[in-house]
């Protein structure tokens, strides 16, 4: 393979060429309510050439390897054409030339599990979801797996082979009181692991269906300002969605005002606040031992001791900003070029205990799991899956319709306690950006306490 790629690249006339070839297999089983909506397994292979000529990029996607030489020519020709029409020329920061092979060994390789066995398992979880009683009106039980072998080579001499496994499970139940009150309970998980990850998840299915029904009885939260404790799952989504995307250097080129706010050294929180984006944590979905430009994994502090310390870079954004590449150039598949993306992003653990956080709160709210959310520049809106009142330092009744809104920078500064119970969580979805979705990532956090959070009472 290496020889084939070398030959195709040589004599391209481009300043830089890279080739990424992917061989993959995937399967999916999806039940909704009492129906099997989808069951499939497939294999796919293809590749992409990216060429840089005089500061212009060209790409060419292919499925047939015997085309490689002509695809290199095509990408170079496009790049030359682009270069003739732009003023803003791309260049790449230096990156070490590497040669490596990253193989994984799975405890129980999902490629060897028959599709019918996967179906049986997902169906059994779906039955549990449906068993929540007559109030359950719909369910989702969805399993996915994929295994990719990615070969990467560039004209500088880097040659890499990496195996990337991914397995996810989503279990959700929807309950209705027959009227307008419709509630959901769900559990999602995802890891860079084997079939064992999704086994023995009966308790998760039971929990999801029970919560959907319980939430029908919960009262709607009263809107207002609260001292809020976020659970690790919701806090993780917050740090990824509301803050992490601003740390992607390519985003800042498009937004001058935010680029100013995101000046290295700026204080964003108290001394205890540390936020990390890490390219390797055993078993995690966001793992990128080498990114899709062949840059080795880094552990990057975005915030250290409350101050902005780093941004996330591709080789191109690193060059533009005079920084070092961080290994964050990622593509969802061979059909796309790499762009700056997060990996495993989390708030580091602190020293507070959950009980200690509760103790100081007269009237507050415990918000658990993200149900959905959106951000418009610095303003975020997140729906929690559910909440619990906090009264005189103790957890009280369940509440629903918990919607948190705020300005991300004000909110970071209002974090006054950080728990000692860091959890890194891989859900079943992924991150979307620039038309590339879903990219496997994880996020995480310990419990965190935030002062003065605006809570709305309607979804």
Measured CA distances, 409 to 352, 363, 377, 392, 416 (Å): 22, 24, 11, 28, 14
Residue span 398-437 as binding mask against Zn ion, x where in contact by CB under 5 A, dash where not? ---------------------------------x------
233-244 burial: b if 16+ Cβ within 10 Å, else e: bbbbbbbbbbbb
Kindly state the number of chain residues that form the binding site for Zn ion, as judged by CB under 5 A.
1
Site membership for Zn ion, residue 60 (CB under 5 A): no
Distance CA 434, CA 240 (A): 16
Helices and strands (H, E) in the chain, number of each type: 10, 25
Site membership for Zn ion, residue 68 (CB under 5 A): no
Residue span 341-370 as binding mask against Zn ion, x where in contact by CB under 5 A, dash where not? ------------------------------
Residue 330 C-beta: closest distance to Zn ion, Å: 12
Distance CA 414, CA 412 (A): 5
Beta strands per DSSP E along 192-316: 219-220, 224-230, 275-278, 299-304, 307-308
Residue 245 C-beta: closest distance to Zn ion, Å: 6
**In the bound complex, which residue of the shown chain has the CB atom lying closest to Zn ion?**
431
Residue 249 C-beta: closest distance to Zn ion, Å: 15
Total residues found in the chain within this entry: 459
Report yes or no: 344 and 427 within 8 Å, Cβ to Cβ: no
Q: Say what angle helices 2-9 and 68-83 make with each other, to 10 degrees.
A: 40
Pick the closer one to Zn ion by CB: 118 or 341: 341
Residue 431 C-beta: closest distance to Zn ion, Å: 3
Pick the closer one to Zn ion by CB: 249 or 455: 249
Pick the closer one to Zn ion by CB: 139 or 168: 168
Site membership for Zn ion, residue 439 (CB under 5 A): no
Residue 407 C-beta: closest distance to Zn ion, Å: 19
Pick the closer one to Zn ion by CB: 166 or 206: 166
Pick the closer one to Zn ion by CB: 72 or 431: 431
Site membership for Zn ion, residue 237 (CB under 5 A): no
Report yes or no: 139 and 174 within 8 Å, Cβ to Cβ: yes
Measured CA distances, 270 to 306, 353, 418 (Å): 5, 18, 10
Q: Say what angle helices 202-217 and 115-130 make with each other, to 10 degrees.
A: 30
Pick the closer one to Zn ion by CB: 230 or 431: 431
Residue 241 C-beta: closest distance to Zn ion, Å: 6
Site membership for Zn ion, residue 122 (CB under 5 A): no
Residue 374 C-beta: closest distance to Zn ion, Å: 11
Distance CA 272, CA 303 (A): 10
Pick the closer one to Zn ion by CB: 126 or 411: 411
351-388 burial: b if 16+ Cβ within 10 Å, else e: ebebeebbeebeebbbbbbbbebebeebebbbbbbbbb
Residue 345 C-beta: closest distance to Zn ion, Å: 9
Residue 333 C-beta: closest distance to Zn ion, Å: 17
Pick the closer one to Zn ion by CB: 236 or 310: 236
Pick the closer one to Zn ion by CB: 85 or 254: 254
CB atoms within 10 A of CB 10: 11
Name the CA radius of gyration of the chain, rounded.
Answer: 24
The contact set with Zn ion (CB under 5 A) reads 431
């Amino acid at each position: 393979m290496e020889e084939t790629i070398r030959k195709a690249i040589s004599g391209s006339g481009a300043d830089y060429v890279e080739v990424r070839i992917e061989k993959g297999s995937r399967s999916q089983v999806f039940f909704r309510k009492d129906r099997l909506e989808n069951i499939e397994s497939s294999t796919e292979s293809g590749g992409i050439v990216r060429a840089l000529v005089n500061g212009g990029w060209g790409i060419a996607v292919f499925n047939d390897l015997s085309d490689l030489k002509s695809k290199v020519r095509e990408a170079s020709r496009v790049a030359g054409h682009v270069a003739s029409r732009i003023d803003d020329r791309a260049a790449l920061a230096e990156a070490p030339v590497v040669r490596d092979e990253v193989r994984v060994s799975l405890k129980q390789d999902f490629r060897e599990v028959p599709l019918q066995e996967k179906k049986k398992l997902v169906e059994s979880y779906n039955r549990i979801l449906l068993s929540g009683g007559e109030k359950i009106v719909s369910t989702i039980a969805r399993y996915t797996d994929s295994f990719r072998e990615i070969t990467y080579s560039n004209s500088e001499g880097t040659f890499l082979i990496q195996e990337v496994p991914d397995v996810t499970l989503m279990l959700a139940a929807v309950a209705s009181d027959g009227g307008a009150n419709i509630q959901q309970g769900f559990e999602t998980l995802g890891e860079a692991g084997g079939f064992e990850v999704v086994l023995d998840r009966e308790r998760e299915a039971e929990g999801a269906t029970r919560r959907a029904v319980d939430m029908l009885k919960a009262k709607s939260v009263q809107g207002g300002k609260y001292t809020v404790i976020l659970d690790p799952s919701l806090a993780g989504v917050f740090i990824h969605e509301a803050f992490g995307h601003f740390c992607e250097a390519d985003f800042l080129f498009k937004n001058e005002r935010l680029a100013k706010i995101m000046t290295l050294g700026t204080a964003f929180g108290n001394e205890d606040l540390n936020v990390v984006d890490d390219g390797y944590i055993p078993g995690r979905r966001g793992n990128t031992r080498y990114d899709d430009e062949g840059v080795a994994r880094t552990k990057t502090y975005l915030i250290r001791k409350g101050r902005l310390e780093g941004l996330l870079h591709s080789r191109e954004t690193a060059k533009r900003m005079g920084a070092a590449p961080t290994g964050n150039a990622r593509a969802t598949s061979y059909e796309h070029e790499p762009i700056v993306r997060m990996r495993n992003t989390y708030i580091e653990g602190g020293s507070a205990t959950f009980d200690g956080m509760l103790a100081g709160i007269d009237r507050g709210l415990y918000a658990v799991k993200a149900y959905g959310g959106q951000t418009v520049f610095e303003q975020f809106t997140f729906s929690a899956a559910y909440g619990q009142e906090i009264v005189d330092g103790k957890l009280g009744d369940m509440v629903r319709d918990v919607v948190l809104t705020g300005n991300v920078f004000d909110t970071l500064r209002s974090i006054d306690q950080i728990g000692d119970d860091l959890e890194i969580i891989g859900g079943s979805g992924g991150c979307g950006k620039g038309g590339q979705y879903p990219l496997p990532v994880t996020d995480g956090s310990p419990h965190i306490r935030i002062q003065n959070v605006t809570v709305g009472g309607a979804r």
